[in-house]
């Protein structure tokens, strides 16, 4: 038997074109071909034996082999020495094969992240750090990427970015200014303090601010400088005449800086009590929603649910780190992560979809500072929720909720990413959700999470359940189940 190969393909390597095939048996033949150009190409295979001949034609779509990664760097044009700032790599696969890119943290080159991009895929990787010395150019490490088809490795050296580094202007002393304006003594009596407050605020706010002043006294183990915030200083005591939600405390190494909060920080600010309410409400609501939700592409399934991280476990970990008793953390929320595994029926039914629901707040910061004003990043949430090494075999959806909102880079990632691992980010303060609206699965999930059941009438049963929950007589899970039962009856 003779075999011939032709059409729009040439032989890349000679092969044994004569075969002996015994009756009722089969043999395979491997032929290495090279196409003549790209696009739709015809492959002709002819087989001849002593008595007959046969010809088959196949049409194959030939695409150009191209391993090409586009990379850019986004960062502020101006930064302040010693102050943390964000920078982000933006990557896009412009080639025709899957790529794996490795990006290094420019503030700590030993820390590296690996990203996988399909043809046309995009990814954003964000890092946060600070400059300890003034520089005119910011140089980042080389980006290394690999062609997953042939194993070739390439490098992208990014050009240095021109930046301006300013030294932070801190108010090291107020003595000179005080001499010009008159000696400013620390208010010693209620009348003195009210007089001081009236210089900066309307009298109508005095009672509120006074309550804040007497309510909280904070001692720092290092020098404190105040910038742009009304204050009075005497010896080692500084009184801040401002609501604590409008100022930010920064530990800059040798000293603590207290400054006026930016508009973005005010928008993202949440107290420990506020974070606890937001995360608790979200956890109850999302559990109720997902237990009745059906994936649009798999209406027939069985559901398995487990905690990757429970609220109690997250608080126990913090108590261990801070070396305090759990009772000290009663005012904090509990971070959590739930896994919903949608499987085929049967004992050995494989997973067809996994949905991870996580609620995350910076518990240590809320404990030490009573509030947080920094938007969250996807990377930070995944790492602390125990999902940092998650790999997708089936389709995976990550629903992540934050009481301080999300960074611009994280929002961009959620809106643009596609493939087997998808993100749906929830801003618990505003109720906004960020996701890729071209993904039907995410659209369906977002619609389910956004819908709210009709409110229950305020019956005696509802009032009793509310009181028992607030008094600590019943657990949250029991309360939620009873409310769900009443909703069904209603």
Q: In the predicted model, is pLDDT for residue 182 greater than 50?
A: no
Which residues, in sequence order, are bridge partners of residue 129?
85
Q: Phi and psi of 215, rounded to 5°? A: -75, -35
Is residue 195 very low, low, confident or very high in pLDDT (cuts 50, 70, 90)?
Answer: very low
- Cα–Cα distance list, 373 to 124, 263, 273, 283, 321 (Å): 23, 10, 14, 22, 22
State the Cα angle at 359 between 357 and 364, rounded to 5°: 150
Q: What is the pLDDT of residue 66?
A: 87
pLDDT score of 21: 77
- Closest by CA to 108, choosing from 131, 92, 89, 124, is 131
pLDDT in tens, 200-245: 333 333 333 333 433 455 666 677 778 777 777 766 667 766 556 6
The pLDDT of residue 357 is 96
With H, G, I as helix, E, B as strand and everything else as coil, classify residue 481: helix
Q: Please, which pLDDT band fits residue 305 given cuts at 50, 70 and 90?
A: very high
Measure the CA–CA gap between 389 and 471, rounded to whole angstroms.
40
Strands (E), 344-441: 351-359, 371-372, 395-402, 421-427, 433-434
pLDDT greater than 70 at residue 71: yes
- Check residue 382 and give its pLDDT: 93
Q: What is the pLDDT of residue 216?
A: 53
Model pLDDT for residues 1-29, shown as the tens digit of each residue: 788 888 898 887 787 778 787 877 777 77
Q: How confident is the model at residue 106 (pLDDT cuts 50, 70, 90)?
A: confident
In the predicted structure, residue 452 carries a pLDDT above the cut 80: no
Query: How does pLDDT run across 312-329, given as a tens digit for each residue?
Result: 999 999 999 999 999 999
Beta bridge partners of 103: 113
pLDDT value for 74: 85
* pLDDT tens per residue, range 380-402: 999 999 998 888 788 999 999 99
pLDDT at 403: 92
186 has pLDDT over 60: no
Q: Residue 28: what pLDDT?
A: 79
Q: Residue 158 above 70 pLDDT?
A: yes
Residue with the bigger pLDDT between 107 and 137: it is 107
pLDDT above 90 as % of the chain: 26
User: Domains of the chain by range and CATH?
Assistant: 2-62 (no CATH), 69-166 (2.60.40.10), 175-261 (no CATH), 268-452 (no CATH)
What distance in Å separates the CA atoms of residue 402 and residue 406, rounded to the nearest whole number? 7
pLDDT mean over 437-448: 91
Q: Is the pLDDT of residue 426 over 90?
A: yes
pTM above 0.85, yes or no: no
Q: Mean pLDDT in the chain?
A: 79
């Amino acid at each position: 038997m003779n075999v011939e190969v032709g059409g729009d393909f040439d032989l890349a390597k000679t092969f044994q074109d004569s075969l002996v095939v015994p009756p009722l048996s089969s043999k395979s033949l491997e032929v290495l071909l090279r196409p003549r150009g790209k696009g739709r190409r015809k492959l002709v295979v002819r087989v001849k034996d002593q008595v007959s001949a046969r010809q088959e034609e196949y049409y194959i779509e030939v695409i150009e082999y191209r391993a090409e990664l586009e990379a850019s760097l986004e960062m502020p044009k101006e930064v302040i020495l010693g102050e943390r700032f964000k920078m982000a790599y933006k990557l896009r696969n412009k080639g025709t094969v899957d790529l794996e890119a490795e990006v290094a943290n420019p503030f700590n080159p030993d820390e590296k992240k690996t990203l996988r991009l399909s043809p046309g895929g995009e990814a954003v990787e964000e890092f946060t750090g600070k400059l300890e010395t003034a520089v005119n150019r910011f140089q980042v490490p080389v980006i290394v990427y690999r062609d997953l088809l042939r194993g070739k490795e390439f490098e992208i050296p990014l050009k240095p970015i021109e930046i301006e580094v300013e030294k932070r202007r801190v108010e090291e002393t107020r003595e000179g200014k005080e001499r010009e304006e008159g000696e400013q003594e620390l208010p010693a009596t209620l009348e003195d303090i009210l007089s001081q407050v009236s210089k900066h605020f309307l009298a109508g706010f005095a009672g509120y601010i006074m309550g804040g002043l007497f309510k909280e006294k904070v001692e720092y183990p290092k020098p404190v400088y105040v910038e742009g915030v009304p204050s009075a200083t005497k010896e080692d005591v500084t009184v801040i005449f401002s609501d604590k939600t409008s100022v930010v405390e920064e530990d800059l190494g040798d000293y603590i800086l207290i400054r006026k909060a930016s508009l973005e920080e005010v928008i993202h600010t949440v107290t420990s009590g506020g974070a606890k309410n937001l995360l608790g409400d979200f956890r109850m609501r999302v559990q109720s929603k997902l237990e009745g939700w059906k994936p649009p592409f798999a209406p027939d399934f069985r559901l398995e649910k487990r905690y990757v991280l429970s609220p109690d476990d997250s608080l126990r970990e913090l108590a261990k780190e801070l070396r305090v008793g759990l009772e000290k953390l009663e005012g904090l929320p509990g971070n959590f992560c739930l896994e919903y595994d949608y499987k085929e029926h049967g004992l050995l039914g494989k997973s067809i979809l996994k949905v991870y629901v996580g609620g995350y707040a910076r518990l240590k910061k809320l404990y030490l500072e009573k509030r947080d004003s920094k938007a969250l990043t996807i990377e930070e949430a995944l790492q602390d929720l125990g999902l940092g090494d998650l790999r997708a075999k089936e389709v995976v959806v990550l629903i992540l909720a934050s009481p301080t909102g999300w960074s611009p880079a994280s929002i961009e990632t959620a809106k643009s990413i596609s493939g087997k691992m998808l993100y749906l980010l929830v801003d618990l303060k505003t109720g906004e959700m960020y996701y890729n609206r071209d993904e039907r699965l995410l659209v369906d999930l977002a619609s389910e999470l956004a819908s709210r059941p009709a409110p229950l009438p305020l019956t005696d049963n509802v009032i009793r359940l509310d009181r028992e929950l607030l008094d600590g007589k019943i657990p949250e899970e029991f309360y939620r189940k009873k409310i769900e039962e009443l909703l069904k009856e209603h």
